[in-house]
Amino acid sequence: MSDTTAEREEETPASTAVPLLVPADGVPDVLTSADEVAEAAASIAAGTGPLAVDAERASGFRYSGRAYLIQLRRAGAGSFLIDPIPTADAMAPLAAAINPLEWILHSADQDLPGLAELGLAPAKLFDTELAGRLAGFERVGLAAVVESTLGLELRKGHGAADWSVRPLPDAWLNYAALDVEVLLELREEMAKELAEQGKADWAAQEFEYVRTMGPPKPKPDRWRRTSQIHTLKKARQLAAVRSLWQARDAVAAERDVAPGRILPDSAIVAAAVADPRSIDELRKLPVFGGPRQRRSARLWFDALRAARALPDDELPPLAKPFDGPPPVNRWERRNPEAAARITAARAVMTELSAEVNIPVENLLTPDLLRRLCWDGTAHTEAEIDAYLAAGNARPWQRELTAPRLSTALHEL
């Protein structure tokens, strides 16, 4: 151990949090039948208060964002682990029991879309992660918030696992049950914190926005997010990436496998650069020569050949088309007035963030602030308020930011 490391460890106080290793009532059995789900629904309906909810997905392993395990807990009912794969068509009793309730989730926007696919959606929401942001917590991961508010150490470790595997290991189920074990108590502590800071109404508006915003819209030109695509300088190479990406995406969706497990991004970029003129040439490239890829060689080669055959006017532009303002670092040259506006706006937003102890990005989305400053048509407080409202800013955000932004932009 170096001296510097030793000094850091001496300066860092040891955690006094109490380890939370197993659920108080043990790990419940996983429910896999319609009858079991119906019985759980009846128990939950007989409980009291809000419902703690969590869901485990298989991001990085599966194409879809579906839930592969659902964890529920309610006072007077206990905890439940439900396997939604064999019970997907048996969710009606559960929906009837839990949809009218307030749900407590941590990072609700991650789990709500997959639960909605099963017909499960809350009448009211409390998001403990978002509550932590609004309360000014430095760290807002579940384990960090639980430790700082409840004094418990919630050990993590399986969140990034492949939850589509069956049977699920006991250690994973213990982890999953613990994630809802503390949410009921955590919600009460976070609600008290928000009320003491005068932010309860702000939080309620944010929770309702998350609850009703629905799944994110697919982003255009998703193929442009291919790793290392920025190293390509020719439109024909970009066409090859796009063609391979689309072929891979179709296979991934059909098999419900994460695209990177079908063909890695690095192989796509390498093929676009090499431009192989035969299947044999393609198989000489890294990855494509492996036994799994050799079986798909015709698919990948046909994708490359289709890109090669495109007329010039159908090639993708080298730069991603802007849906909104260009990057801020280009504003000074292209629009000096807008550059002055964003500088002034960011300064007052940073100042406001420090005053209310809320991250800048939670006061207004950075994209909306950029659009406001680039557009330059809103100057008065009323005009700015209307612009922000059209961009889905919540009333509390507009009340805080519109006056400050109006003053900042008016002085230019």
pLDDT for res 14: 56
Q: What is the pLDDT of residue 373?
A: 97
pLDDT tens figures, 339-378: 999 999 999 999 999 999 999 999 999 999 999 999 999 9
Q: How many CA atoms lie within 13 A of 409 on its CB side?
A: 29
**pLDDT of the residue at 410:** 84
Q: What pLDDT is stored for residue 158 in this prediction?
A: 83
Question: What pairs with residue 74 in β-bridges?
Answer: 51, 78
Same fold, 17-212 and 328-410: no
Contacts for 229 with CB less than 8 Å, ≥ 6 apart: 238, 241, 269
| Among the listed residues 187, 192, 199, 206, the one whose alpha carbon sits nearest the alpha carbon of residue 105 | 187
Does 13 score more than 80 pLDDT? no
Strand-pairing partners, residue 31, are 82
Tell me how far apart the alpha carbons of residues 130 and 193 are, in angstroms, rounded to a whole number: 13
pLDDT for residue 2 is more than 60:
no
Helix 183-196 vs helix 170-181: angle between axes, to the nearest 10 degrees? 30
For 318, list phi and psi in degrees, rounded to 5: -60, -40
pLDDT at 9 over 90: no
Kindly tell me if the per-residue pLDDT of 8 is higher than 60.
no
State the residue for tokens 């009211």.
124
CB 205 within 8 A of CB 394: yes
Question: What are the start-end ranges of the H helices in 214-317?
Answer: 235-255, 259-262, 265-274, 279-283, 291-295, 297-308
* Higher-confidence position of 114 and 3: 114
pLDDT bucket at 212, cuts 50 / 70 / 90: very high
Average pLDDT along the chain: 94
What pLDDT score was predicted for residue 6? 35
Share of the chain above pLDDT 90, in %: 89
**So what's the pLDDT on residue 171?**
95
**CATH superfamily to which 328-410 belongs:** HRDC domain (1.10.150.80)
Judge whether residue 1 has pLDDT over 50: no
Considering only CA atoms, which of 351, 357, 349, 405 is closest in space to residue 137? 357
- Residue 191, pLDDT score: 98
pLDDT in tens, 319-347: 887 778 999 999 999 999 999 999 999 99
Q: What is the CA radius of gyration of the chain?
A: 26
Q: What is the mean pLDDT of residues 151-166?
A: 89
pLDDT tens readout for residues 262-303: 999 999 999 999 999 999 999 999 999 988 898 999 999 999
Query: Under 8 Å CB-to-CB from 404, ≥6 apart: which residues?
Result: 348, 349, 351, 352
- Work out the number of other CB atoms within 10 angstroms of the CB of residue 45: 16
Q: Domain-by-domain residue ranges, the chain?
A: 17-212, 222-314, 328-410
Secondary structure of 376-401 as H, E, C letters? CCCCCHHHHHHHHHHCCCCHHHHHHH
Average pLDDT of 11-38?
87
pLDDT tens string 193-205: 999 999 999 999 9
3-state secondary structure of 372: helix
- Indicate the fold that domain 222-314 takes in CATH: DNA polymerase; domain 1 (1.10.150)
What confidence category does residue 5 fall into, taking pLDDT thresholds of 50, 70 and 90?
very low
CA distance 58 to 231: 30
| CB-based burial, 342-363: b 16+ in 10 Å, e otherwise | bebbbebbeebbeeeebebebb
Q: How confident is the model at residue 7 (pLDDT cuts 50, 70, 90)?
A: very low
pTM metric for this prediction: 0.90
56-104 tens-digit pLDDT: 999 999 999 999 999 999 999 999 999 999 999 999 999 999 999 999 9
Q: Does the 17-212 domain belong in CATH 3.30.420.10?
A: yes
Q: How many CB atoms lie within 10 A of CB 77?
A: 20
pLDDT reading at 4 higher than 70: no
* Higher pLDDT, residue 338 or 17: 338
Contacts of residues 99-105 at CB distance under 8 Å and 24 or more positions apart, as own/partner, are 99/123, 101/50, 101/51, 101/74, 102/50, 102/51, 102/126, 103/50, 103/51, 103/52, 103/53, 104/50, 104/51, 104/52, 104/53, 104/128, 104/183, 104/184, 104/186, 104/187, 105/53, 105/54, 105/183
**For residues 240 and 367, what is the distance between their CA atoms, to the nearest angstrom?**
30
Q: What is the pLDDT of residue 12?
A: 41
